[in-house]
C-alpha cells in the first residue's frame, strides 16, 4: 500500500500560499445599477429614476432631509441599506426582496470558496475581496501581493468578460517576478471552454500557474464543492514546481522556433537544380516529391532541435522538482479544470507512434473498375507503405504491412500476381486488459486510426502472405481500406520482434493511463456473510470509473473526482473531518502489487481484484469478515 497520508489542514500555507485575493463583483453584497440591470430589474430602475413617481418622491425627500445626494445609485443604496419601515412597499416587493433573493445565491458561492480556503490553512484575515478592477489593483500593488488570485470570468466593470483584465494582471505579476497563481472562474462553462488554454499559450504561463474552473453550485452537488477543495490542494502542490515547469516550456518553445528558423534558411538555399535532383531521386522509388520532402524536412527539423536542446538543463530541473512532490498521484488524477488535458496528451503521444490520418493519401475509389490493370497498378502500389495499417471491411480485421517498398514498388505487372505482401494481423484492445510482456505479440498504443486514438495488438505468430494484386483489387473494391500509418521506427520494431527476440529496438516509453470499471458495494453485516448473495449484489450495483496507471509490478488506481465522490456517497460517508481522509486517499490512489491479493484503506475498506477473490476466500477466510466496504477491481 502506498503512503496516502495527506495533511489537508495547512496544505496551502506549507506550500507557500498565504495571501489570497478574490476578484468578483459578487465578493461583497453590493447592488450597482449595472448589476441590477443585468439581473432583469431595468424597468424598475426606470421607475426609480422617475421623480414624478410617488414612491420615488418619498425616497428623494428622505435623502434631501439628510443632506444626501439623490442620483439613481444613491436611491438604490438607500433601498438596500435602510430599514424596511422607511422603504416604500412597492420597491420592497419589486426590487429589494427579489434582488436579494437573486444575488444572495451568488454571494454564497463565494463563501463556499472562502470556506475551502480556510479549511486548507488560509487565515480568513488573509483572504482579500475586490469587486472591481480598481480594488484589485490596490491589493496587487500592496506590500504583500497575493500568492493566489481567483478572478470572475464576467466582472461587472469589464463588459462581456474579464479576459483583457486577466492578461493585464498576468503582466503586472510577471514584472514583479512574483510566483502568483491564478484561477479563472465562472458559472458560464461554455465561455470558459472558449478561453481554455488560450491564455496559457498567448501569455506563456503554465497550467500550474493558471487554471480555469467552474464555480461551485448551491444545489447540494457534493462533487462540485469537493472538486474545489481538491483543486486547491493540487494547486498548492503544483506551486513547488511551477517555476521549473514554465521555464522548461518557454525553453522548449524557443528551441523549436529556432530549429524551425534554421531549417527555413536551408530551404531558401535550395535552387531549382537541387529540387529537380530531389524529384528524380523520389521518382526512382516511385514516390511523390511531397512524400520525399516530408521525410527529409521532418528529420532535419529533429536534428536541429536535438542540437538546440543538447546542453540545456531545464528539463532535468523540472524532473527533479516533480520527483520531490509528495502525493504526486494528485497530479495524475482527473484535471480540476473544465477540460481534461489527458486527451491532448494522448494526441501528442499518438503523433510519436503514427502519422496523422488526415496526412495519409487515400487511393481513389472507382466503381467501374473491379481490379488493377497494367496502366494503374503502380499508382495503387504507391499508397501502400512500410507500416501502412489496413482494415478488412468484411470482418473488421486489421493488418500492418511489413514489406519494404523496394521489394515491390519496382515490380512488373506480371509479378504482382505471384509476389506477396508480408502482413501481420492485429486487433483492437484495451491496454488495461493485459499489460504483461508477451513475445508472441507487439502492442501499438495511442495510434491515430481514422482520426481517433486507439490501440492495436499485432499477433506475431499469425503472419499472412497476401498476393499483391489481391490486396490492390480489394482496395479498389473497398474491401480493404487504409486506416493508419505507423512511423517507420515503429513498424521496424514490429518486424524486428517478429524476426528475432534477440535484437531490440529502443522506443520511447509511453505512459499507460486509461479508464477502468470498478464495482463498489457494502457488505450487509447484519445478515452475516453470504458470498453468493454478496457477489450477486456486487454485479447489480452501478460501476464506477477509475483511472488506472500501472507498470509490470503493480496497478495504481486513481479515481476521477466525480466518481470517487459517488463512491463515498454510496458508502454513506460525507467528507468532513476525519472521514475526509478516506476520500482523499481514494483520490490519491490505491496500489495493488502484483503478488498481493488485496490492499486496505485505514483498516476500513478492502480492495481486491475479482479474479483473486476465490484465492482470498480460501487462504484468508477471516479477512473478508473484518470489512464492511469493498472495492472490486475488474472481473
What does the DSSP assignment read for 427-488? EE--TTT--S--TTEEEEEEEEETTEEEEEEEETT--EEEEHHHHHHHHHTTSEEEEEEE-H
Distance CA 201, CA 206 (A): 8
Question: b/e string for 148-173 if b means 16 or more Cβ within 10 A?
Answer: bbbbbbbbbebeebbbebbeebbebb
More confident position, 197 or 489: 489
First to last CA, the chain: 21
Query: Mind listing the pLDDT tens digit for each residue in 394-419?
Result: 999 999 999 988 888 888 999 999 99
- DSSP tag of 126: G
| Distance separating alpha carbons of residues 109 and 228, to the nearest angstrom | 11
- Give the model's pLDDT for residue 295: 83
Higher per-residue pLDDT: 300 or 519: 300
Across the range 52-67, mean pLDDT stands at 88
The whole-model pTM stands at: 0.69
| Domain range annotation of the chain | 1-239, 244-324, 355-499, 513-633
* Bridge partners for 556 per DSSP: 549, 591
pLDDT of 534 strictly over 80: no
DSSP assigned state of 96? I
Mean pLDDT of the chain: 80
Helix, strand, coil shares, percent, the chain, to 5: 45, 20, 35
pLDDT at 4: 45
Residue 425 pLDDT: 95
> What is the structure's pLDDT at 1?
38
User: How much is the average pLDDT of 352-367?
Assistant: 83
Q: Which CATH number fits domain 1-239: 3.40.50.2300, 3.30.230.10, 3.40.50.720, 3.40.640.10?
A: 3.40.50.2300
Q: Give residue 335's pLDDT band: very low, low, confident or very high (50, 70, 90).
A: low
Where residue 502 falls among pLDDT bands split at 50, 70, 90?
very low
Q: Does the pLDDT of residue 2 top 50, yes or no?
A: no
Over residues 310-337, the mean pLDDT reads 74
pLDDT classification of 29: cutoffs 50, 70, 90: confident
**C-alpha distance from residue 31 to each of 28, 41, 105, 188 (Å):** 9, 11, 14, 21
Average pLDDT over residues 361-370: 76
174 or 311, higher pLDDT: 174
To 10 degrees, what angle do helices 272-284 and 289-309 make? Answer: 110
Residue carrying C-alpha cell 457488505: 523
Looking at residue 86, its pLDDT comes to 87
Q: Work out the average pLDDT over 29-42.
A: 79
Please report which confidence band the pLDDT of residue 432 belongs to, taking 50, 70 and 90 as the band edges: low
- Rounded mean pLDDT, 429-444: 74
DSSP annotation string for 516-564:
EEEEEEE--GGG---HHHHHHHHHHSPEEEEEEEE-SSEEEEEE-HHHH
Q: Using N-to-C axis directions, what is the helix angle for 289-309 and 242-269, rounded to 10°? A: 130
- Band the pLDDT of 389: cuts 50, 70, 90: very high
18 or 346, which is more confident? 18
Look at residue 312 and tell me whether its pLDDT is greater than 90: no
* pLDDT of 506 higher than 50: yes
Q: 3 falls in which pLDDT band (50, 70, 90)?
A: very low
- Count CB-CB contacts under 10 A for residue 5: 10
In this structure, what DSSP letter does residue 414 have?
T
Is residue 38 within 8 Å of residue 99, measured between CB atoms? no
Tally Cβ neighbours within 10 Å of residue 332.
15
Q: Is the pLDDT of residue 80 over 80?
A: yes
pLDDT for position 387: 94
Cell of 339: 477540460
Q: Among residues 170, 538, 496, 488, which one has the least CA distance to residue 354? A: 488
> What is the share, in percent, of the chain residues with pLDDT greater than 90?
17
Q: Which residue has the higher pLDDT, 69 or 513?
A: 69
Contact between 433 and 457 (Cβ < 8 Å): no
Query: Which residues have C-beta within 8 Å of that of residue 66, sequence separation ≥ 6?
Result: none
Alpha carbons 187 and 561: distance in angstroms, whole number = 19
Mean pLDDT to the nearest integer, 252-265: 91
Instruction: List pLDDT tens digits, range 539-567.
Output: 555 566 666 666 666 677 766 666 666 66
pLDDT confidence of 106, banded at 50, 70, 90? confident
Q: Has residue 181 got a pLDDT over 70?
A: yes
Kindly report, residue by residue over 232-255, the tens digit of the pLDDT. 888 888 898 999 998 999 899 899
Q: How much is the average pLDDT of 259-288?
A: 87
Q: What is the pLDDT of residue 501?
A: 53
DSSP assignments along 294-360, one per residue: HHHHHHHHHHHHHHHHTT--HHHHHHHHHHT-TTTHHHHS--SSSS-THHHHHHHHHHHHEE-GGGS
Across 223-237, 369-383, 565-579, the highest mean pLDDT is recorded for: 369-383
Amino acid at each position: 500500500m502506498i503512503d496516502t497520508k495527506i495533511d489537508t489542514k495547512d496544505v496551502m500555507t506549507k506550500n507557500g500560499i498565504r495571501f489570497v485575493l478574490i476578484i468578483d463583483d459578487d465578493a461583497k453584497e453590493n447592488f450597482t445599477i449595472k448589476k441590477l440591470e443585468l439581473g432583469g430589474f431595468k424597468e424598475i430602475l426606470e421607475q426609480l429614476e422617475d421623480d414624478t413617481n410617488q414612491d420615488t418622491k418619498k425616497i428623494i425627500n428622505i435623502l434631501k432631509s439628510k443632506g444626501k445626494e439623490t442620483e439613481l445609485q444613491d436611491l438604490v443604496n438607500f433601498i438596500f441599506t435602510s430599514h424596511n419601515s422607511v422603504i416604500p412597499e412597492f420597491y420592497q416587493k419589486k426590487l429589494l426582496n427579489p434582488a436579494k433573493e437573486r444575488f444572495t445565491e451568488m454571494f454564497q458561492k463565494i463563501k463556499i470558496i472562502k470556506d475551502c480556503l480556510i479549511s486548507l490553512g488560509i487565515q480568513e484575515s488573509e483572504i482579500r475581496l475586490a469587486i472591481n478592477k480598481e480594488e484589485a489593483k490596490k491589493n496587487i500593488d500592496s506590500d504583500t501581493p497575493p500568492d493566489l488570485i481567483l478572478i470572475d470570468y464576467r466582472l461587472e466593470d469589464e463588459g462581456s468578460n474579464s479576459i483583457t483584465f486577466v492578461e493585464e494582471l498576468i503582466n503586472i505579476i510577471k514584472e514583479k517576478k512574483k510566483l502568483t497563481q491564478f484561477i479563472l472562474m465562472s458559472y458560464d462553462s461554455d465561455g470558459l471552454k472558449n478561453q481554455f488554454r488560450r491564455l496559457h499559450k498567448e501569455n506563456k504561463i503554465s497550467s500550474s500557474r493558471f487554471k480555469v474552473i467552474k464555480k461551485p453550485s448551491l444545489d447540494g452537488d457534493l462533487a462540485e464543492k469537493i472538486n474545489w477543495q481538491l483543486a486547491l490542494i493540487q494547486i498548492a502542490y503544483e506551486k513547488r514546481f511551477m517555476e521549473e515547469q514554465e521555464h522548461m516550456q518557454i525553453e522548449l518553445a524557443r528551441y523549436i522556433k529556432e530549429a524551425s528558423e534554421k531549417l527555413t534558411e536551408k530551404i531558401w538555399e535550395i535552387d531549382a537544380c537541387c529540387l529537380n535532383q530531389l524529384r528524380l531521386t523520389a521518382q526512382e522509388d516511385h514516390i511523390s516529391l511531397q512524400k520525399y520532402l516530408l521525410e527529409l524536412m521532418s528529420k532535419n527539423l529533429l536534428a536541429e532541435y536535438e542540437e538546440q536542446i543538447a546542453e540545456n538543463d531545464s528539463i532535468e530541473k523540472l524532473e527533479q522538482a516533480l520527483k520531490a512532490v509528495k502525493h504526486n498521484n494528485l497530479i495524475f488524477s482527473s484535471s480540476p479544470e473544465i477540460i481534461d488535458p489527458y486527451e491532448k496528451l494522448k494526441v501528442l503521444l499518438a503523433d510519436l507512434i503514427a502519422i496523422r490520418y488526415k496526412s495519409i493519401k487515400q487511393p481513389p475509389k472507382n466503381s467501374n473498375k473491379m481490379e488493377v490493370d497494367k496502366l494503374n497498378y503502380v499508382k495503387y502500389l504507391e499508397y501502400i507503405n512500410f507500416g501502412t495499417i489496413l482494415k478488412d471491411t468484411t470482418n473488421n480485421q486489421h493488418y500492418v504491412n511489413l514489406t519494404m517498398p523496394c521489394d515491390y514498388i519496382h515490380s512488373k505487372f506480371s509479378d504482382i500476381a505471384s509476389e506477396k505482401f508480408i502482413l501481420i494481423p492485429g486487433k483492437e484492445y484495451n491496454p488495461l486488459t493485459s499489460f504483461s510482456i508477451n513475445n508472441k505479440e507487439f502492442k501499438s498504443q495511442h495510434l491515430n486510426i481514422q482520426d481517433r486514438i486507439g490501440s492495436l495488438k499485432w499477433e506475431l505468430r499469425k503472419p499472412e502472405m497476401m498476393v499483391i494484386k489481391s490486396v490492390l483489387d480489394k482496395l479498389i473494391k473497398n474491401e480493404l481500406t487504409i486506416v493508419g500509418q505507423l512511423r517507420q521506427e515503429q513498424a521496424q520494431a514490429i518486424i524486428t520482434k517478429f524476426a528475432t527476440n534477440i535484437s531490440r529496438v529502443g522506443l520511447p516509453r509511453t505512459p499507460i493511463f486509461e479508464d477502468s470499471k470498478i464495482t463498489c458495494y457494502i457488505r450487509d453485516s447484519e445478515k452475516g456473510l453470504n458470498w453468493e448473495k454478496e457477489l450477486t449484489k456486487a454485479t447489480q450495483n452501478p460501476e464506477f470509473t477509475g483511472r488506472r496507471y500501472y507498470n509490470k509490478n503493480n496497478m495504481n488506481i486513481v479515481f476521477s473526482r466525480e466518481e470517487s465522490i459517488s463512491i463515498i456517497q454510496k458508502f454513506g460517508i460525507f467528507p468532513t473531518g476525519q472521514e475526509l481522509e478516506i476520500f482523499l486517499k481514494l483520490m490519491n490512489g490505491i496500489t495493488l502489487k502484483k503478488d498481493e491479493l488485496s490492499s486496505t484503506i485505514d483498516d476500513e475498506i478492502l480492495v481486491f481484484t475479482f479474479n483473486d477473490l476465490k484465492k482470498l476466500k480460501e487462504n484468508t477466510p477471516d479477512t473478508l469478515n473484518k470489512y464492511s466496504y469493498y472495492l472490486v477491481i475488474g472481473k
